[in-house]
Amino acid sequence: MRVKGVRYEDFTNYKVPSMYIAMPKCSFKCCEELGMNVCQNMDIVKEPTIKIDDDELIKRYLDNPISQAIVFSGLEPFDSFDDLRTFIGKLRWDYNCFDPIVIYTGYYPEEISDKLMILSKFSGIIIKFGRYIPNQKPHYDELLGVELANDEQYSVEL
């Protein structure tokens, strides 16, 4: 899998300690819609893209007694969908791990309905939907247990 980075213990993106995986691609739909550079993940863009073996990443997760979930986030996980789907399938089927998987996306459900159909075959998938819009009032998301940047963002469990 190609990634921009991995934090083996993250305490800010989900209600339990998580492994955080920063995905390497994005269409920059938020910037395009607003007509300005608003990406909250621009610092990630500058990071080198690295290749990490799925099995190695999963073993590091399973060997970590602290992390209890995996979070895929910025840039845009659904723009690297084949890597995302392969990783989740391997985690669930090859390693029999059914810990929560959280996916932060700027897409709306109707934009990725075909991909959601595929992911719905897995259990324990939580998706944060909605574009980033700057200078909005954050709100607390009960399912994620964190503050989201604006009211347009929300999470659901598939």
* Domain count within the chain: 1
Q: Confidence class of residue 41 from pLDDT cuts 50, 70 and 90?
A: confident
Domain membership of residue 129 as a residue range: 2-157
d(CA 93, CA 16): 23
Reply yes or no on whether the pLDDT at 48 is more than 70: yes
Reply yes or no on whether the pLDDT at 1 is more than 80: yes
pLDDT for res 45: 80
Q: What is the mean pLDDT of residues 106-110?
A: 95
pLDDT for res 32: 65
Q: Is the dihedral of CA 8, 11, 12, 16 positive or negative?
A: positive
CA 53 to chain centroid? 18
What are the pLDDT digits (tens) for 83-100?
999 999 999 999 999 999
SS3 breakdown of the chain: % helix, strand, coil, rounded to 5?
A: 30, 25, 45
Q: Locate 101 and state its tokens.
A: 């998987």
Q: Locate 24 and state its tokens.
A: 């390497």
pLDDT for res 58: 98
pLDDT for res 35: 64
Q: Confidence class of residue 12 from pLDDT cuts 50, 70 and 90?
A: very high
